[in-house]
């Protein structure tokens, strides 16, 4: 499902200490000089020469560039202190950038989500952290929703300081871009002139782009003064199906369009791991790879099976919703074997020095034994000790016969 992320973020540079520092603006800083560089900017200020102004509800694009291969994490910090995770996200999970590579979020073509500037008014920031090694953000953010578990620039900086502390001092760096959030001015609808009519367009959710006769005229909610006649109206919003209709404009009248936009169905992500790793993965009976494995699947119900030599097959049924990430961690159990010990007299039986029972009627059956080599020892009063090495095989029954001779 396409997403709309509120856009805002923050970061700065400073320092000369070994540990990460936090600036007075609540920005994490690496005080150690490093040849790794990252640069982040917004589309209205590619040269980072000032504080560009975005109106609430306006779309925004964030670009980032690194000079060396690095994992990049981008956060927004709103004037209110609310934090959102821009990269990685549910639709752009590959945050490994190559040296000299520039990426823009959302991408100009084929984007499945949008970044939209949200309130309140004030100074917003975009913070980028680049690291030569992947960072563990599991305790900080939810990639699927983009929500961060901490609020406020200072708290984000402290949390990131803990995450980067284990890294070599020169293996991470940060950068920040600033912009101003302002409320769009209210433009009064001009009075209806004789021979014209009004078209009022709204949508649920709001913010959809409105096209009249193929020409973009604004975003919902919107009122337009048009000449009478038939007009083609189209509404577009990221993550939703395009809405199309025909409106008839009549002189002196208001034609109202209220569009309930239908969400697009997005693929989900099935994350499969096994313990131990390496198990063969079958999805609905078809081999798809070996664990650990990430599978992009359409929403629906799936039968998952894992197979690993020497282990019991693991089976599970999972349901994947639109845009959902579903983890499946399979703990596969080792196969067990059976041992039947036959003796000519009733005897106590030991496996690798551990007593496991006594033969009755000359037989002791031992189930659920781990596969591998084992020494079997038989003891009986007045008889010599007898022992034999045997190998237990998974899923099979092994037999051993021990004949105890009388002690002289």
Same domain for 66 and 140, yes or no, is yes
Same domain for 256 and 287, yes or no, is no
Same domain for 88 and 103, yes or no, is yes
Residue 190 is assigned to a structural domain of this protein? no
* CA distance to 6, 85, 364, per residue, from 145 (Å): 12, 8, 58
Same domain for 71 and 136, yes or no, is yes
Residue 189 is assigned to a structural domain of this protein? no
CA dihedral over 198, 204, 209, 211, signed as positive or negative: negative
Residue 187 is assigned to a structural domain of this protein? no
Domain boundary among 260, 283, 313: 260
Low-confidence ranges of the chain (pLDDT < 50): 1-17, 192
CATH number of 369's domain: 2.60.40.10
Residue 408 is assigned to a structural domain of this protein? no
Residue 322 is assigned to a structural domain of this protein? yes
Q: How far apart are the first and last CA of the chain?
A: 84
Same domain for 215 and 71, yes or no, is no
Q: How high is the pLDDT of residue 178?
A: 87
Q: How high is the pLDDT of residue 185?
A: 63
Q: How high is the pLDDT of residue 264?
A: 78
Q: How high is the pLDDT of residue 193?
A: 56
Contact 210, 217 (CB under 8 A): yes
Same domain for 132 and 275, yes or no, is no
pTM of the entire predicted model: 0.45
Same domain for 167 and 303, yes or no, is no
Q: How high is the pLDDT of residue 333?
A: 84
CATH number of 244's domain: 2.60.40.1120
Same domain for 11 and 147, yes or no, is yes
Residue 288 is assigned to a structural domain of this protein? yes
pLDDT digits (tens, 9 = 90+) for 319-337: 988 878 999 999 988 888 8
Same domain for 206 and 285, yes or no, is no
How many domains would you assign to the chain? 4
Domain boundary among 260, 279, 310: 260
Q: How high is the pLDDT of residue 298?
A: 86
* Interacting residues of 84 by C-beta distance below 8 A, sequence separation 6+: 5, 6, 7, 8, 75, 76, 78, 146, 147, 148
- Residue 215 is part of which domain span? 197-260
Q: How high is the pLDDT of residue 18?
A: 58
Residue 188 is assigned to a structural domain of this protein? no
Domain boundary among 224, 240, 260: 260
Same domain for 103 and 203, yes or no, is no
Q: How high is the pLDDT of residue 408?
A: 75
Same domain for 327 and 342, yes or no, is no
Same domain for 32 and 106, yes or no, is yes
Contact 251, 198 (CB under 8 A): no
């Amino acid at each position: 499902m396409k997403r709309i992320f509120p856009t805002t973020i923050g970061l700065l540079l400073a320092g000369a200490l070994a540990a990460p520092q936090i600036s007075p603006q609540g920005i994490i800083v690496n005080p150690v000089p490093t040849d790794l560089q990252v640069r982040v900017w917004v589309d209205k200020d590619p040269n980072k020469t000032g504080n560009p102004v975005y109106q609430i509800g306006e779309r925004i694009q964030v670009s980032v560039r690194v000079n060396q291969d690095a994992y990049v994490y981008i956060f927004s910090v709103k004037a209110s202190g609310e934090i959102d995770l821009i990269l990685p996200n549910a639709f752009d999970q590959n945050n490994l950038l190559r040296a000299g590579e520039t990426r823009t979020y959302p991408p100009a073509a084929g984007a499945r989500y949008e970044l939209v500037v949200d309130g309140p008014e004030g100074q917003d920031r975009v913070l980028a952290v680049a690291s030569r090694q992947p960072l563990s953000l599991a305790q900080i953010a939810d990639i699927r929703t983009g929500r961060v578990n901490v609020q406020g620039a200072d708290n984000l900086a402290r949390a990131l300081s803990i995450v980067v502390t284990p890294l070599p001092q020169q293996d991470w760096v940060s950068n920040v871009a600033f912009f101003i959030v302002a409320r769009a001015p209210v433009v009064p609808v001009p009075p209806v002139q004789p021979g014209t009519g009004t078209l009022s367009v709204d949508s649920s959710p709001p913010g959809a782009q409105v096209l009249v006769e193929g020409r973009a005229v604004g975003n919902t909610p919107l009122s337009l003064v048009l000449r009478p006649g038939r007009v083609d109206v189209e509404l577009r919003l990221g993550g939703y199906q395009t809405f199309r209709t025909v409106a008839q404009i009549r002189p002196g009248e208001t034609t109202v369009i209220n569009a309930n936009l239908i969400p697009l169905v997005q693929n989900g992500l099935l994350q499969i791991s096994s313990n131990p790793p390496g198990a063969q993965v079958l999805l609905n009976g078809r081999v798809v790879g070996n664990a650990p494995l990430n599978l992009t699947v359409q929403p629906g119900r799936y039968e998952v099976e894992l197979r690993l030599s020497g282990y019991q097959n693991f089976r599970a049924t999972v349901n994947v919703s639109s845009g959902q990430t579903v983890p499946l961690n399979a703990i596969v159990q080792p196969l067990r074997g059976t041992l039947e010990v036959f003796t000519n007299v009733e005897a106590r039986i030991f496996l690798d020095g551990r007593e496991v029972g006594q033969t009755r009627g000359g037989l002791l059956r031992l189930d659920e034994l781990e596969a591998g080599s084992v020494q079997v020892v038989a003891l009986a009063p007045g008889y010599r000790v007898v022992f034999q090495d045997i190998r237990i095989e998974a899923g099979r029954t092994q037999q051993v016969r021990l004949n105890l001779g009388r002690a002289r």
